[in-house]
A and B are shown apart, each in its own frame.
Chain A
Amino acid sequence: MNDFQRSPDLPPPASTVGVVSWLRTNLFSSPANTILTLVGFYLVYSLLVPALDWAIFSASWVGENKDACDHKGACWVFIGQRLDFFIYGFYPKAEYWRINVIFVLLALLIIPQMMENAPHKVLLAWFFLIGFPIIAGTLLLGDVFGLPAVTTDKWGGLSLTLVIAFVGIVAALPIGILLALGRRSDMPVIRLLCVAFIELWRGVPLISVLFMASVMLPLFMPEGTNFDKLLRALIGITMFQSAYMAEVIRGGLQAIPRGQYEAAAALGLGYWKSMGLIILPQALKIVIPGIVNTFIALFKDTTLVLIIGLFDVLATVQAAIVDPDWPEVSTEGFIFTAFVFWVFCFTMSRYSIALERKLETGHKR
């Protein structure tokens, strides 16, 4: 009696597994692809090698002043020495701790939002939108509780960029919600006004809005009203941003099925109650990724304030690279700024993609 012995599986052909097969299917599958791959490798090689050499291997990393840089590679000493200026602008050195406190608070409020099961997430989010701006504003401006006053013309650098971006988004959200509701209102006059407002702001470039805010806003006001330059820019940015926000939220409102509106009406809820309790919570949840994307666009657009003379992070870098103490550092300065913006925007866009994936499951039919 012979027991049937199954002979062991043969290994797959060497050409279909491992590195060789990967290379073959992904890089050299056809003559055209081979040429493309070779061109691609040449491109990477000819760009990356000098770039890495400039940015890392030949770069000057430590030192106190321009003599530390031999200009064979990047002069990162410049960034290190002027970092305070890039972050805090002209804020008095003794008061840097106030901005640091705000940074820490900001991080403490954002981290739970990123976590899956953090406690009191909603409560913290409301505090983030209402309580935090008040605390941060008080700390930055000073002049109360014995803190010395720091006027807004001293603000600058990355902290100013973050202030503009944050105010822009927090102020634009409620206005955007109202505009989006108005655009879908049954009242023709309200609808017309909202459409006109939204299309007007969306049709013009932000820079002309900023010009208008800085030149024309003072003209509109009764004589003697004196506006802070930063406040004028913030008003312009908020108006501009709320129009874009309104369109994002309108998308969410349109995605809510009619049955939800009718169910709210059947329960006897009035307009504001049905919107506030039934429609908006669902609509806003859908458009969170859209809101984050708007925020990314706004964050990049904050650089425009340098044209009306505010000192955001790009403006501080521009001022620092023309400083005769540090010659020939413009590329380093711009690459540093680009890196700062890239880190913020890339993180946010990944967060938005992750959110989209997480929220998608609940709405698939």
Chain B
Amino acid sequence: MSDLAEKADAAITKPPPWNDPFIRSIFFQIVAIGLLGYFFYSAFENTLSNMSKSGISTGFAFLGREAGFGILMSLIEYDETHTYGRTFFVGLLNTAIVAFCGIILATILGFIIGIARLSNNWLISKLAGVYIEIVRNVPLLLQIIFWAVAVLQALPGPRNSMQLGESFFLNNRGLFLPEPIYGDGFGIVVIAFFIAVAGTIFLKRWAKQRQEQSGDQFPVFYASIGMLIGLPGLVFLILGMPLSWEYAKLGRFSLTGGTNIIPEFMALLLALTMYTAAFIAEIVRSGIQAVTHGQTEAARALGLRNGPTLRLVVIPQAMRVIIPPLTSQYLNLTKNSSLATAIGYPDLVSVFAGTTLNQTGQALEIIAMTMAVYLTFSLTISAIMNWYNKRVALVER
């Protein structure tokens, strides 16, 4: 009897092979791999034949050849005689510096505007709102071009530059700053600073331990500030101030000496900072609003004052909400820095995927390298932020 039932069950549950979900899924996956393989194979074949037809060589040998073109701005030593491989690193560093400065400035500006948006001062809150709504809804490329063409190009020439004292000059060639010249022993000042940083970390641990044991608080913040400024400052004074400044001077046609920040960099940085700050401000606002009022009230009930309430209760909880979207804004800023191409700032896309590609014609290798760089940037930033996110995330049972 039961034998019969089992047989009947088997007859019902066992579908024909073309209806078996398991067999089907294997079939579809094999088809997918096959189609993809065919696509890559044919694309590869076509590319090879197309490239050999038009006489473009393949491989990465071009990286060792002489580039023969100049680049407007370079953080490492570079001139026409350097190789194409070197242009890659010049572009890479230029992208990295603008993204790095942009992320820091946009975070500061974004937090200020986001908090201003929540201010109980009507005017300040409305001003922040207007800023956000205007900047967010205008394309970034337009803003970059606007700063570069309508603002910075319209500045006076070097002869009539706007200046602040004798050290800062602003004209249509960019911003001229005094250049620091390090004397003997400046390295010791730097070492003193790092000792102070290590001391701060140690002090914080010690203060936390002491508070847990005895309940006594130690003013870590002021002590660290004092140490971070005091120690290097003292060493600096003892060594007889081994630092001097070289100021920019007006030559025949242009300013010479000093450090020059090119207008393309300023335009790109300004636009990236202002644009991303508007998005960060909204993230900060919603993050702070996500902390329920009950939390603030509970903190008050425990007798905490305004400062500690914000520092110990509101901000740690708001950070949890803020971090994930903030990460994607950092990634966006890094990727958006590639719009530099439009105004001629020599970033990776403009130098390497632009000039180098046009000169060598090796599109496949160059675009692949460029995309790999951005992918690495993206993955690195998101890995760092995920690590931080894990640290601040809610620990649940």
- Residues of A bordering B, CB below 8 Å: 26-27, 29, 33, 36-37, 40-41, 43-44, 186-190, 193, 200, 202-208, 211-212, 215-216, 218-223, 296, 300-304, 306-307, 314, 318, 321, 330-331, 334, 337-338, 341-342, 345-346, 349
Contact = CB atoms under 8 A, between A and B. Distances in A.
B341 interface: yes
A190 B28 contact: yes
Interface stretch (B9-17, B196-204, B331-339): B331-339
21 contacts: A27-B123, A33-B121, A41-B123, A188-B29, A205-B338, A207-B341, A211-B349, A211-B353, A219-B46, A219-B364, A220-B46, A303-B139, A303-B141, A306-B342, A330-B149, A330-B150, A331-B150, A338-B142, A342-B137, A345-B138, A349-B137
Interface string B32-52: 110010000011001101110
A212 B370 CA distance: 10
Contacts, number: 149
B119 interface: yes
Contacts of B53: 223
Given A26-B122, A208-B371, 12 more contacts: A26-B120, A27-B122, A44-B127, A204-B375, A206-B335, A207-B338, A208-B367, A215-B357, A220-B46, A300-B137, A307-B341, A334-B142
B113 to A, nearest CB: 13
Interface string B112-129: 000000011111100100
A216 B141 contact: no
The 6 A-B pairs with the shortest beta carbon distances in the complex, nearest first, are A26-B122, A345-B137, A205-B335, A189-B29, A300-B139, A203-B378
Interface residues of B, number: 54
A342 B51 CA distance: 44
Interface of B: 25, 28-29, 32-33, 36, 42-43, 46-47, 49-51, 53, 119-124, 127, 133-134, 136-143, 145-146, 149-150, 154, 335-336, 338-339, 341-342, 349, 353, 357, 363-364, 367, 370-371, 374-375, 378-379
Nearest to A29: B120
Contacts of A223: 46, 49-50, 53
Contacts of B357: 215
A303 B42 CA distance: 33
Given A27-B121, A36-B124, A346-B137, A314 B142 contact: yes
Given A204-B371, A211-B353, A33 B141 contact: no
A314 B137 contact: no
A334 B145 contact: yes
Contacts of B142: 303, 314, 334, 337-338, 341
B122 A187 contact: no
